[in-house]
Amino acid sequence: MKREIYLGTLRSGSILDTGETRLLLSKAKIKDKAPEDNPLLIPSEDLEQVALVTGVKKGSILYEALVLEVIPPLTGSLLRELLAQGKITPDDLQNLLSAGLTPKPKKLCALVIGHKKSSPGAVNPRTGLSEFIFNDDLSRRIEEKVHGVEVQRVYRRTYQELPKDINALNPDFIVSLHCNAFNGQASGTEVLYYHRSHKGRAIGEVLLRHLVDHLGLPNRGLKPCTAEDRGGYLLRYTKAPCVIAEPFFIDNDQDLARAQEDLNGLALAYAKAIEEMAQIV
């Protein structure tokens, strides 16, 4: 099956209303099960807007869906009218895309949730909150706030398989969400990158700046890692530029309180960083 282009109105629930049918927009591949569990999230400001969307249609689901362009209302009305009158065809829209008259597909950020439910990482002794629980919630908030960049959340099966799973997505860059822990007193924000990756360093600088600006915790800096260092396995064996975020120490009650004080603000700091990082890779 080939990718096709569809013109329609973006509705809530990840729906594209073409006027003739309603398609569920899913990021899943056509061979995946339960595509409804991996919907293409539509920013609130794009709801009820006319858009050009590409994907692979099967039944009422558009797999590997990607919004190519949100069209101004007047342009959208004109295109609908021309299509209805038969003056242009869906193939004409495909030709426009091939001619470069619509934007290139958005960059893809793999947003990795550090650790997993059965191995949740560092834990705050007082609250029992773990890295995994904190970052699982945070990742969803980030995904809702990113504009102009595709975000794919990635969950760990095993640490050994994680680079391979991420590489299979072919992302443009990777952000891995973690929290530091040491002795209950250490504080601050740092970002890790692979020491030989120039783009990793560049996007790491962007992420560190946004996190420090939001949290206001001590800046522990941008830290190069080898394959043998903490986090180095992920940084070394992923193909795309990759950074590991350590925004605060989860075992430090004051650091954790600062992060939880404004979770949406922290998610927005990540989102803005991701949008800026997409311009670099």
- Which pLDDT score is estimated for 32? 86
- 6 forms bridges with which residues in the sheet? 53
CB neighbour class for 19 (10 Å; exposed up to 12, middle 13-18, buried from 19): exposed
- Which pLDDT score is estimated for 9? 92
Per run of 10 residues, the mean pLDDT along the chain (length 281 residues) is 85 92 92 88 88 91 89 77 73 63 74 95 97 97 93 95 95 97 97 97 97 98 96 96 98 98 97 95 93
- Which pLDDT score is estimated for 84? 74
- Which pLDDT score is estimated for 101? 47
Tell me the domain boundaries of the chain.
4-98, 107-277
- Which pLDDT score is estimated for 153? 96
- Which pLDDT score is estimated for 97? 57
Contacts of 179 (CB under 8 A, 6+ apart): 114, 121, 122, 131, 134, 135, 246, 247, 248, 249, 250
107-277 adopts what CATH topology?
Aminopeptidase (3.40.630)
